[in-house]
């Protein structure tokens, strides 16, 4: 195979992460496939295991990878702990994807977050902040 000079080549990560020879039912949303306690597989998301590389790999790896790995689980835990989450019945969950610069949800997720007792909400600069009392 000859690749002409100045050719831009891109890795098709969607195809890699949806390979039916690697993933059982790759088009079905099954987060339990990553839980060892549920019989799932052990996948390294830091770019060492290319079955799933959400941050990329090699010299093109996401510069915010370490910050994301450390903080996102904390943010999610705080949100789950401090709010009761109710599904929007007018706009049901739709996991349809659309390919843009990256793979995005076609229709944004819409839920109602109700603060639990002892959580005070404040609004500032377009953001809603919450403080635990």
Q: What is the pLDDT of residue 37?
A: 77
Mean pLDDT across 122-128: 59
Question: 14-22: long-range contacts (C-beta < 8 A, 24 or more apart)?
Answer: 14/99, 14/103, 16/50, 16/51, 16/53, 17/51, 17/52, 17/53, 19/51, 22/51
Binding site for heme: which residues?
62
The pLDDT-based confidence of 133 (bands split at 50, 70, 90) is very low
pLDDT digits (tens, 9 = 90+) for 5-60: 999 887 787 888 888 988 889 888 888 887 877 777 777 767 667 677 777 777 77
Query: Considering just the CA atoms, what is the radius of gyration of the chain in Å?
Result: 19
pLDDT digits (tens, 9 = 90+) for 77-109: 988 988 888 888 888 888 888 877 777 888 888
Q: Where are the domains of the chain?
A: 1-62, 76-133
Binding site: which residues?
62
Dihedral, 21, 28, 52, 32 alpha carbons, nearest 10: -110
């Amino acid at each position: 195979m000859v690749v002409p000079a100045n050719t831009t080549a891109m890795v098709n990560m969607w195809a890699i992460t949806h390979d039916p020879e690697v993933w059982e039912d790759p088009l079905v949303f099954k987060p339990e496939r990553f839980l060892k306690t549920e019989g799932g597989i052990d996948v390294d998301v830091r770019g060492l295991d290319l079955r799933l590389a959400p941050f990329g790999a090699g010299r093109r790896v996401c510069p915010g990878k370490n910050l994301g790995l450390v903080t996102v689980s904390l943010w999610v835990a705080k949100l789950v702990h401090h709010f009761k989450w109710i599904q929007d019945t007018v706009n049901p969950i739709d996991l349809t994807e659309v390919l843009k610069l990256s793979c995005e949800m076609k229709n944004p997720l819409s839920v109602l977050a109700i603060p639990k007792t002892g959580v005070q909400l404040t609004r500032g600069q377009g953001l809603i902040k919450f403080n635990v009392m």
